Structure 1
Amino acid sequence: MKNLPFFSRPRLILFVFFCSFVTAGVSAVPFAEKPPENESVQKLFARTLHLEPEVQGKPLPTNDWWTTLLANDGFPGRLYAYPFTVSANAQGVQIWYPLEWNQNGTEMDAGEPLVIEPIDPTPDSDPVEQILFDFEKDWASIGWTLEGNAFGDVPMTHGQHGSRGIVGKRYAASFYGQDGGLGKATSPEFVIEKDYLHFKVGGGSEKEILGVHLLIDSQSVYQEVGKKSNDLEWRTWDLRRYRGKKAKVQLVDESKGGWGFISADHFVFSKLSTTPKSGPFSHASTLNWGDWHVSMRLHLSKSKKADVTF
């Protein structure tokens, strides 16, 4: 994982291709005054474009791939810059280098991406959101203590269990012993300094023997469980009554039956009750494009952004 510092208008050139080609004469072609009336074309033209002011009004490519790039909500889909594929999400720029075909032979197996994350050299002294735990390192490095065999030596990866909705590459899950694994994972102690704690949860739903707990004075004051799903969903605890108190997060798995595991990821302190971003960037917009390049702008705030060209 590599870090990308912020500047007022940074520009990262990921790939440059030098190409030579010969153009052929093209005869005059009649153009329609308006697009066809069929549903798929109208749906394409109805999308909201996410363009920077300096390119608004510029003639746009209108095939589905290009329009999806220019109008996709939040962040673009995966783009090809052969032999690489490139995308972005709230965490940063993602680069894949496919080496072989999938088992069906229908497309290249992308594997895990290289993620280029930003570092803000001038962070806010009192940010709206603050990551508490994200499970991207081994348990010892993040200061958690383990009991039993359910949580393994390191947090789990997507490839080990196939869970969706995780943030980053790893998350906490008591599935190392599959449904029969038992144990607890307890965080280091922290002080509650913001009004809300947001996090993601998946797994089984039996509150008597599974759960994500908030412990204050060794007592559980909040608990969340999954919905019998591998996929993780956002949950929120209102901490206003506990401001200033010391607390711990504890994951508990005492179940040996079906859906006998608990998963959690990305604990974020926040001043707001609304679901937090999954990373530093809020969205991407299109800065420029041409026959051989695309530039997108990743937004951190009104004054901080990163420009990426590939």
Structure 2
Amino acid sequence: MVFLIVSCSSSKRPDIVFEDFESGNFGKWNKLGVAFDKPSRIDSVSEKIKNAQGTFFAFSNFEGEGESHNQGKLVSKNFIIERKYIRLLVAGGKHDTRECVNLIVNNKIVRVASGENDNVFRTVIWDVEDLQGESAVIEVVDAMITEYTPNSLPHVLVDNIVFSDFKDARQEVFEDFESGSYGNWKVEGEAFEVPRNRTNVYYPITADGFNGKFFAFSFGETHDTKQGKLTSKTFTIKYDGIKFLVGGGRHPNKTCINLLVNDSIVYSQTGQNDGQLRWQQWDVTPYEGQKARIEIVDHYSGGWGHIMVDDIIFFNKPAPFNIWIYLAVAVLGVLIIIVLLRRNIFHQRKGTKVKVSEEELEKFEKVKASI
């Protein structure tokens, strides 16, 4: 009974981002061959890549010399499978042995993913519930010989490998500024030069509350005098909410982060006139399926005339906790136990034999004879 209630009400474990390549290097991977030199930046490749998450991704587009000049492999470190699903973004050539991503357990390939012969990242979901507790590695393979397979793209792209108990993504990091540049944003004015950290900007007080190394910051060497704006690329609202870290000036419409839907501001948030970045969030369920943009604005040159933003994340709300469902399950469990106990008692009574003494048997025979 206790097990029933606990199992019904227990929460799923948080996601583990195994690799998103935002470090800009393959430090966690063993590189074989020459195809994978370093993670590629979305704004530095000649190919048009769609649906990439963040700034960097694995791309086997490096060519060396010799017979295997454009081939190679990335092999992850060993890990224990501790979630029900592995989600990843894959693009590039469609070939299950030469252009692919493999999950290997006990030296055997147990899951495979490949692209669709284009440069569009698509989500692949591996159900690995039956493999939980096993030691595994992930390998990204480019063994394509272009001369013999002219109709297939000669590269593979991978991004955002996540271990999860959820089949579908619960959240997506839209921007964390860890690339150290504003490459994904349209920059206007002079306030936003590069993403800042504690070492590359003068600031009278300590900026606190940001994650990672970098965050968007419109405070520069000339302090609050310069103005400007960052505008994101257009995206489609697919999640329930948008959360982010924000700090700096409290000047509505002047130092703020805005959400624009159909070119109209539907949400806006300022700092609190201090250097602390705090979590804020917007409920965007009324705008699901619509096109949107985010802008980070500094249009104020007076005191606290700057804005600080980090970790813009799209997320889905957890399923609501319904106490009545759990109470119903508990009552049903109690009823089942009562029924089982009653059936057991009935069977025990039905099979019980009553012991009778010889004296009582003689009396019984005399009564029978007299009838």
Task: Give the Cα–Cα distance (whole angstroms) in 2 for the partners of residues 280 and 166 of structure 1.
Answer: 10
1:264 aligned to 2:163?
no
1:305 aligned to 2:279?
yes
Greater relative CO (CA pairs within 8 A, separation 6+): 1
Task: Give the Cα–Cα distance (whole angstroms) in 1 for the partners of residues 33 and 164 of structure 2.
Answer: 32
Aligned to 1:132: 18
Aligned to 1:189: 78
Which of these residues, 28, 35, 52, is aligned with residue 150 of structure 1?
Answer: 35
Matches within 5 A, 1:38-187: 127-141=13-27, 143-152=28-37, 154-158=38-42, 159-160=44-45, 161-177=47-63, 181-187=70-76
User: Offset at 1:164?
Assistant: 2.1
TM-score normalised over the length of structure 1:
0.51
Higher helix residue share: 2
SS of residue in 2 equivalent to 1:165: coil
Task: Give the Cα–Cα distance (whole angstroms) in 2 for the partners of residues 276 and 238 of structure 1.
Answer: 16
Task: Give the Cα–Cα distance (whole angstroms) in 2 for the partners of residues 214 and 186 of structure 1.
Answer: 10
Assess, with a 3 A threshold, how the Cα gap between structure 1 residues 180 and 207 changes in structure 2: closer, same or farther. farther
Assess, with a 3 A threshold, how the Cα gap between structure 1 residues 140 and 210 changes in structure 2: closer, same or farther. closer
Assess, with a 3 A threshold, how the Cα gap between structure 1 residues 213 and 276 changes in structure 2: closer, same or farther. farther
Matches within 5 A, 1:9-28: none
Give the count of matched residue pairs: 179
User: Offset at 1:291?
Assistant: 5.5
Aligned to 2:242: 284
Question: Greater Rg, structure 1 or structure 2?
Answer: 2
Task: Give the Cα–Cα distance (whole angstroms) in 1 for the partners of residues 132 and 49 of structure 2.
Answer: 33
CA contact (8 A) 2:256 2:269 kept: no
Aligned to 2:135: 246
Assess, with a 3 A threshold, how the Cα gap between structure 1 residues 294 and 224 changes in structure 2: closer, same or farther. same
Task: Give the Cα–Cα distance (whole angstroms) in 1 for the partners of residues 243 and 106 of structure 2.
Answer: 47
User: Offset at 1:278?
Assistant: 2.0
Superposed CA offset, 1:272-307 (max 9, x none) = 111342228963389999664545359xxxxx8337
Task: Give the Cα–Cα distance (whole angstroms) in 2 for the partners of residues 185 and 279 of structure 1.
Answer: 24
SS of residue in 1 equivalent to 2:172: coil
Indicate the RMSD between aligned Cα atoms, in angstroms: 3.3
User: Offset at 1:163?
Assistant: 1.6
Could you tell me which amino acid in structure 2 is paired with residue 176 of structure 1? Answer: F
Task: Give the Cα–Cα distance (whole angstroms) in 2 for the partners of residues 227 and 276 of structure 1.
Answer: 25
TM-score normalised over the length of structure 2:
0.43
Task: Give the Cα–Cα distance (whole angstroms) in 1 for the partners of residues 253 and 20 of structure 2.
Answer: 39
Which of these residues, 275, 288, 293, is aligned with residue 169 of structure 2?
Answer: 275
Assess, with a 3 A threshold, how the Cα gap between structure 1 residues 176 and 219 changes in structure 2: closer, same or farther. same
CA contact (8 A) 2:26 2:39 kept: no
SS of residue in 1 equivalent to 2:52: coil
Assess, with a 3 A threshold, how the Cα gap between structure 1 residues 140 and 206 changes in structure 2: closer, same or farther. closer
SS of residue in 1 equivalent to 2:130: helix
Could you tell me which amino acid in structure 2 is paired with residue 156 of structure 1? Answer: S
SS of residue in 2 equivalent to 1:241: helix
Mind listing any 5+ residue stretches in structure 2 that lack a counterpart?
A: 1-10, 147-151, 176-238, 258-267, 271-277, 282-295, 299-371
Indicate the percent of aligned positions where both proteins have the same amino acid. 21
Task: Give the Cα–Cα distance (whole angstroms) in 1 for the partners of residues 117 and 34 of structure 2.
Answer: 21
SS of residue in 1 equivalent to 2:104: strand
CA contact (8 A) 2:243 2:280 kept: no
User: Offset at 1:210?
Assistant: 1.5
Superposed CA offset, 1:70-121 (max 9, x none) = xxxxxxxxxxxxxxxxxxxxxxxxxxxxxxxxxxxxxxxxxxxxxxxxxxxx
CA contact (8 A) 1:284 1:297 kept: no
Superposed CA offset, 1:226-266 (max 9, x none) = 00111211110001000011111101111132401111111
Which of these residues, 233, 238, 255, is aligned with residue 144 of structure 2?
Answer: 255
Aligned to 1:12: none
